Amino acid sequence: MRRVSPIGIPGLSLLVGFLLLPLAHSIAQAEETRGPQVSSTTLSNGLEVVVIPDRRAPVVTHMVWYKVGAADEKRGKSGIAHFLEHLMFKGTKNTPAGEFSRKVAEIGGQENAFTTADNTAYYQKVTPQALRMVMTYEADRMENLVLSEADIVTERDVILEERRQRVDSSPSAILSEAAGAALYDNHPYGIPVIGWEQEMASLTLADAIGFYDQWYTPNNAVLVVAGDVDAAEVFAMASETYGKVRRRAEPGLRVRPSEPDHLTPAMVTYSDRRVSEPAMRRTYLVPAYKSGKAGDGEALEILSSILGGMQTSRISTALTVDDPIASSAGSWYNSNRDYGEFGVYIAPRPGQDLTEAGKRLDAIIDGVIANGVTQEEVDLARSSIIKSAFFDRDSQTAMARLYGSVLTTGGIVEDVTQGPDRFREVTIEDVNRVARQWLDKKRSVTALLLPEIEPETDNGSVVK
């Protein structure tokens, strides 16, 4: 039955980057010859402006990305990046609360915002005629946000409800959070983007304004406009609106604590009576596209595709088709700014043993590490990654997200446009090397999702 469950409800969404925007997958999106003619410039106040023309329909996607995310929060203030994202809808010294949203709705526009570990973005999808209007309002809230105590109190309740909905209501989300915390010994990626509940509950108006004043400034932002527009016109409009925003701060380079060597494989388990079938996932700490050796990200992406990213992949074929022990199994790679994560997962068929399923999964990974992959596998994975880029290009919003995401995580435009070439350069040796180098259990967290063990009487004693 459609739309009865409240999932997918419009609201200020929290985008835990790797779930919704697999950077790794999408970096191949632009095709060098037939891709959009992307242009960019930088305003004198430091705002970077990128325009991606797509003139098929009278629609334009307007996004402002700030180079700040949850991983830039002060210790003890987890959730402030996302809290501020919500509070940005509360009005400015020039604009009463709700006016911007009303104006967007009045022309049938869409709007939202999201926060990841590395960036925070605000966007509207409108008609080209409304572009100046949204630019004016968005530029206004870049420097003129006004918050009251009452805003803080109600909106803090909203983010706490959001946490209850996204995390507390889902055993697998609870486990993911714990696994994330265990994967990072030192880097703040271990802290959930939405924040820890007790810290969220004590966030204040001063925290929000402090964060805003530290990070929200044109020289720490990227404006991405995609759709039925001309680059020169967008540059002109940007200059007249955003160009007037003063340079409010000098956030400087984002330097975050780094990870020490990982010597101890970690295991987290979570039992919950809401779980009916057990499952296992393991996450390896691996390089990001930009932080590792050039080409490692692409090689890891191809490895993930070969191992378990497609229905014909090794894990899927062996564990769900040939001698099926699992109802689903696979792998993924995702890249944040500073580190990447390579994951494998398996959900045994009802009645099948999780330990046994995990062993068979391990045997496949060990096989790839020991014997490598085949050239045929590399070619298939590569071509499917490059071809899927064409389909992704169908969506101007997806393109705007791709560029915004790359440009706020240490990348440049060429990182997108050269994506397909970089995939073509990956050799079988690269794939085998990253498998040997990075799929090391010492760098991993294995997370087990288990049904609750009912207290039962066994020879008179209670086993829990």
Q: Is 328 in the site for other proteins (CB under 8 A)?
A: yes
CA 224, CA 242: separation in Å to the nearest integer?
A: 12
Q: Would you say 409 or 444 has its CB closer to other proteins?
A: 409
Which of 92, 320, 409, 444 is close enough to bind other proteins by CB under 8 A? 320
CB of 338 to other proteins, least distance (A): 21
Q: Is 7 in the site for other proteins (CB under 8 A)?
A: yes
Each residue 429-458 as x (binds other proteins by CB under 8 A) or -, in order, gives ------------------------------
Which of 311, 355, 374, 427 is close enough to bind other proteins by CB under 8 A? 311
Q: Would you say 41 or 214 has its CB closer to other proteins?
A: 41
Q: Is 253 in the site for other proteins (CB under 8 A)?
A: no
Interacting span for other proteins (CB under 8 A) from 20-28, 63-71, 183-191, 268-276: 268-276
Q: Is 127 in the site for other proteins (CB under 8 A)?
A: yes
Q: Is 369 in the site for other proteins (CB under 8 A)?
A: no
> Residue 331 pairs with which residues in a beta bridge?
344
Q: Is 98 in the site for other proteins (CB under 8 A)?
A: yes
Interacting span for other proteins (CB under 8 A) from 281-289, 310-318, 354-362, 456-464: 310-318
CB of 414 to other proteins, least distance (A): 6
Hey, which residues between 223 and 242 contact other proteins (CB under 8 A)? Answer: 227-233, 235-237, 239-240
Q: Active site includes 456?
A: no
Taking residue 217's Cβ as centre, other Cβ atoms within 10 Å add up to 24
Beta strand pairing status for 110-115 and 48-53? unpaired
Q: Which of 243, 236, 222 is nearest to 43 (CA)?
A: 243
CA 64, CA 364: separation in Å to the nearest integer?
A: 43
Number of residues that bind other proteins (CB under 8 A): 107
- Tell me which of 48, 85, 177, 298 is the catalytic residue: 85
CB of 15 to other proteins, least distance (A): 14
Residue type, 270: Y
Beta strand pairing status for 120-126 and 60-66? antiparallel
CA 2, CA 14: separation in Å to the nearest integer?
A: 23
Rounded to a whole number, what is the distance in angstroms from the first to the last CA of the chain? 38
Interacting span for other proteins (CB under 8 A) from 100-108, 179-187, 202-210, 254-262: 100-108
Which of 73, 85, 111, 140 is close enough to bind other proteins by CB under 8 A? 111
Q: Is 133 in the site for other proteins (CB under 8 A)?
A: no
Which of 128, 180, 340, 358 is close enough to bind other proteins by CB under 8 A? 128
Q: Is 424 in the site for other proteins (CB under 8 A)?
A: no
Which of 2, 75, 93, 464 is close enough to bind other proteins by CB under 8 A? 2
Taking residue 245's Cβ as centre, other Cβ atoms within 10 Å add up to 23
Which of 76, 108, 257, 367 is close enough to bind other proteins by CB under 8 A? 108
Which of 19, 153, 267, 463 is close enough to bind other proteins by CB under 8 A? 153
Q: Would you say 367 or 391 has its CB closer to other proteins?
A: 391
Q: Would you say 288 or 449 has its CB closer to other proteins?
A: 449
Q: Would you say 11 or 367 has its CB closer to other proteins?
A: 11
Hey, which residues between 36 and 75 contact other proteins (CB under 8 A)? Answer: 37-44, 48, 54-59
Q: Is 126 in the site for other proteins (CB under 8 A)?
A: yes
CB 28 within 8 A of CB 386: yes
CA 418, CA 54: separation in Å to the nearest integer?
A: 19
CB of 298 to other proteins, least distance (A): 17
Q: Is 89 in the site for other proteins (CB under 8 A)?
A: yes
Q: Which of 248, 255, 173 is nearest to 211 (CA)?
A: 248
Q: Which two tokens stand for residue 56?
A: 């098929």
Hey, which residues between 163 and 202 contact other proteins (CB under 8 A)? Answer: 164-165, 168-171
Contacts 24+ apart (CB under 8 A), 172-175: 172/279, 172/449, 174/270, 174/272, 175/268, 175/270, 175/447, 175/448, 175/449
Q: Is 204 in the site for other proteins (CB under 8 A)?
A: no
- 225 CB-contact burial (10 Å; exposed 0-12 / middle 13-18 / buried 19+): buried
Q: Which positions are catalytic?
A: 85
